Amino acid sequence: MQMVGDTPRRILVGLEHSEEAGAGVRRAVAMARAGNAELTLVHVAVPPPAWAGVGMLALPLVEDVETMGCDLVRRTVEELPDDIAVRWHLVSGPEACGGISRARCVRRALRCALERGGHDVLVLGTGVRPGRIAGPLARELGERVIAVPYAVPAGVAGGADRPRPVLAD
């Protein structure tokens, strides 16, 4: 790790196709700006289970998952401020597998990316509470995982009724 005091120098940000993931990206950008840190965006493209397609039908499903993941990461990079140093990669194939459940595969891939990349912290956007990915990683890796709860804007379906967590900057 290359922490300077309490400020991380290398920040890994997990991305997925959800509004919650945006909360993690926003927090990571703020952290990167505050500490002149480098961001690495990563998406884990977990292939569909073997029973989802047979023979020639399975190949397009795998390619679709990877293509959608690359598109997500590229769009996110394009939306980042120009003053942020950013890298990105897609974890796919055998590195995105290795567990019975999708959540287990994603946790394993994120843990490997954190260690292999020499990142100080992993930032994940979550729902009001950390879920099946952020919760176990936070328990295992402690302060190296920052789970950022997503605040549902008022006026959005269910937004006024749901508790709105306060996000610390």
Q: Which pLDDT score, from 0 to 100, does residue 57 have?
A: 55
Report in angstroms the alpha-carbon separations of 16 from 4, 46, 53, 142: 29, 11, 23, 22
Report in angstroms the alpha-carbon separations of 167 from 37, 79, 81, 128: 20, 21, 20, 11
User: What single string gives the DSSP state of each residue in 69-98?
Assistant: HHHHHHHHHHHS-TTSEEEEEEE-GGGG--
Using the CB atoms, write b or e for 120-141: b if 16+ within 10 Å: bbbbbbbbeebeebbbbbbeee
Q: Which pLDDT score, from 0 to 100, does residue 161 have?
A: 43
d(CA 169, CA 79): 20
Give me the chain's average pLDDT, please.
83
Higher pLDDT, 2 or 140: 140
Q: Which pLDDT score, from 0 to 100, does residue 143 have?
A: 94
pTM over 0.85: no
Higher pLDDT, 57 or 79: 79
∠ CA 28-31-33, rounded to 5°:
110
**Lowest-confidence region among 7-16, 67-76, 96-105, 124-133:** 96-105
What mean pLDDT do residues 3-27 have? 87
Q: Which pLDDT score, from 0 to 100, does residue 101 have?
A: 84
What mean pLDDT do residues 70-77 have? 94
pLDDT of 164 over the 50 cut: no
pLDDT of 88 over the 80 cut: yes
Q: Which pLDDT score, from 0 to 100, does residue 169 have?
A: 37
Q: Which pLDDT score, from 0 to 100, does residue 167 have?
A: 40
Burial status of residue 145 (CB atoms within 10 A of its CB: 0-12, 13-18, 19 or more): buried
Q: Which pLDDT score, from 0 to 100, does residue 94 have?
A: 82
Reported as a single tens digit per residue, the pLDDT across 107-160 is 999 999 999 999 999 999 998 888 899 999 999 999 999 999 987 655 555 444
What is the rounded end-to-end Cα distance, in angstroms, of the chain?
22
**Lowest-confidence region among 10-14, 25-29, 61-65, 151-155:** 151-155
Domains and CATH numbers, the chain: 10-149 (3.40.50.620)
